[in-house]
Amino acid sequence: MSYFKNINTIQFEGKGSDNPLAFKHYDPNQVIMGKTMEEHLRFAVAYWHTFNANGTDPFGSATMVRGWDQYNGLDRAKARVEANFEFMNKLNIPFYAFHDVDIAPEGETLQETNKNLDVIVALLKDNMKSSGKKLLWNTVNMFSNPRFVHGAGTTCNADVYAYAGAQLKKGLEVGKELGAENYVFWGGREGYETLLNTDMGFELDNLARLYHMAIAYANEIGFDAQFLIEPKPKEPTKHQYDYDAATTISFLQKYGLKDHFKLNLEANHATLAGHTFEHEIRTAAINGMLGSLDANQGDLLLGWDTDEFPTDLYSTTLTMFEVLKAGGIGRGGVNFDAKVRRGSFEAEDLFLAHIAGMDSFAWGLKAAAKLTEEKILDNIVDNRYRSFKEGIGAEIVSGKATLASLEQYALQNNPIKNESGRQERIRLILSEVIFSV
């Protein structure tokens, strides 16, 4: 059965095309800096936003009725699997990502939930085999069910912690069965509202214990996915423990977990943390922790996690610039953790939104490659730090300088001269590059 009957395979038609159902920039086979666009970008469909979301918001009910909504329970879950592979094929997207509860309905008991998962996982596996599509990552949702009201790995209730462990164990088994490239931990309810009732240190110790158990079990079953933690500063809890890249890295370091994890960074989460996406990516990269990207954008006029499709070319360019600088995204990818707006309720909007995101990232990649190959920013940055290449600067970098030698230099170096950072000029150069590719 086809869920997107009126839509044909989306082709690359190039910049001159006015066909809304075609790529203008994303040409999967175009080689850029020695790799195809497809290899650089490793796009993924987020199952939850594309096949589960229905436009519900706190003020109104669903606006999106999809072909699979004619079914219920496991039948609907099976229909979504079919829709997912048709969608990926038509858009030529190689990867997808899901939470356990996105793919199969929760049962009354853990046994029943796991049985439902087994049915759908077998179906996913068949479809992956016949289509060649891959799982970028899976995760388990330990935040929606009311049992996680006080958290999962950071709950005050040991019974809930045990349930979370069982759910995580199954998640790792599912990931192994489907050959997931990565396994994501996003701590939805891992945070707190008030210290008046919270033992923060104990909760963090417990979270680390859960991660150590996950590493042990993945080793035991031979699941070799890259483990990723996804930082987010707030929403749903007031103080999320994995606030941003830097906070998460320090947590991993403290608990001896750093060598077992990398980070899954999301653009909208960076905004909520008061950072740019490129800041988060650079923070991860300089610590050897860049894992994967959740591509979306927030709205600065709103201030919550709006998960919009990424269309801001300055951001996609600087994102891909950071990725190229880091030597590529490795086993990670660019996962569209993004949802169509409530008013964009037609099935065709799912395609148009993904095309907008893919073209914006392809455009950003082309501009980033130009910035990199022509060393446009590198030359500016190199020049800015040139005082560390010789004289006293070189002595500082080589480790020869002491406070006494710095004093001796400073005493005779008067007055000190600084130079302009020229950011306004550089921003215009960036615009010129983006609109030249």
Hey, which residues are catalytic here? Answer: 99, 102
Site size for ligand XLS (CB under 6 A) = 10
Q: Is 305 in the site for ligand XLS (CB under 6 A)?
A: yes
Report the residue number whose CB is nearest to ligand XLS.
186
338: amino acid identity, one letter: A
Q: Is 268 in the site for Ca ion (CB under 5 A)?
A: yes
Minimum distance, C-beta of residue 294 to Ca ion, in the bound complex (Å): 4
Residue 215 CB-density burial (10 A; 0-12 exposed, 13-18 middle, 19+ buried): middle
88, 154, 215, 397 from 131: Cα distances, Å: 9, 39, 30, 53
CB closer to ligand XLS, 67 vs 236: 236
Taking CB within 5 to 8 Å according to partner kind, which of ligand XLS, Ca ion, none is near residue 331? none
Q: Is 278 in the site for Ca ion (CB under 5 A)?
A: no
Which x/- pattern over 330-349 shows residues binding Ca ion (rule: CB under 5 A)?
-------x------------
In this chain, which of 294, 308, 322, 359 binds ligand XLS, going by CB under 6 A?
294
CB closer to Ca ion, 177 vs 337: 337
Q: Is 280 in the site for ligand XLS (CB under 6 A)?
A: no
CA distance 328 to 320: 9
Q: Is 280 in the site for Ca ion (CB under 5 A)?
A: no
Which x/- pattern over 292-331 shows residues binding Ca ion (rule: CB under 5 A)?
--x----------x-x------------------------
Residue 119 CB-density burial (10 A; 0-12 exposed, 13-18 middle, 19+ buried): middle
Q: Is 266 in the site for ligand XLS (CB under 6 A)?
A: yes
Minimum distance, C-beta of residue 253 to ligand XLS, in the bound complex (Å): 23
CA atoms within 13 A on the CB side of 306: 14
CA distance 157 to 152: 9
Residue 194 CB-density burial (10 A; 0-12 exposed, 13-18 middle, 19+ buried): exposed
Minimum distance, C-beta of residue 266 to Ca ion, in the bound complex (Å): 4
CA distance 398 to 385: 15
Q: Which residues contact 334 (CB under 8 A, 6 or more apart)?
A: 41, 42, 43, 44, 293, 295, 361
Q: Which residues contact 433 (CB under 8 A, 6 or more apart)?
A: 317, 367, 370, 371, 376
CA distance 390 to 413: 15
Secondary structure in 3-state letters for 84-151: HHHHHHHHCCCEEEEEHHHHCCCCCCHHHHHHHHHHHHHHHHHHHHHHCCEEEEEECCCCCCHHHCCC
Minimum distance, C-beta of residue 272 to ligand XLS, in the bound complex (Å): 9
Minimum distance, C-beta of residue 148 to ligand XLS, in the bound complex (Å): 12
Minimum distance, C-beta of residue 361 to Ca ion, in the bound complex (Å): 16
Measured at the CA of 236, the angle between CA 234 and CA 242, to 5 degrees, comes to 45
In this chain, which of 27, 322, 337, 359 binds ligand XLS, going by CB under 6 A?
337
Q: Is 102 in the site for Ca ion (CB under 5 A)?
A: no
In this chain, which of 27, 203, 266, 359 binds Ca ion, going by CB under 5 A?
266
Site size for Ca ion (CB under 5 A) = 6
Taking CB within 5 to 8 Å according to partner kind, which of Ca ion, ligand XLS, none is near residue 139? ligand XLS
Residues in 163-192 at the binding interface with ligand XLS, rule: CB under 6 A: 184, 186
CA distance 158 to 205: 13
Binding interface with ligand XLS (CB under 6 A): 99, 139, 184, 186, 230, 232, 266, 294, 305, 337
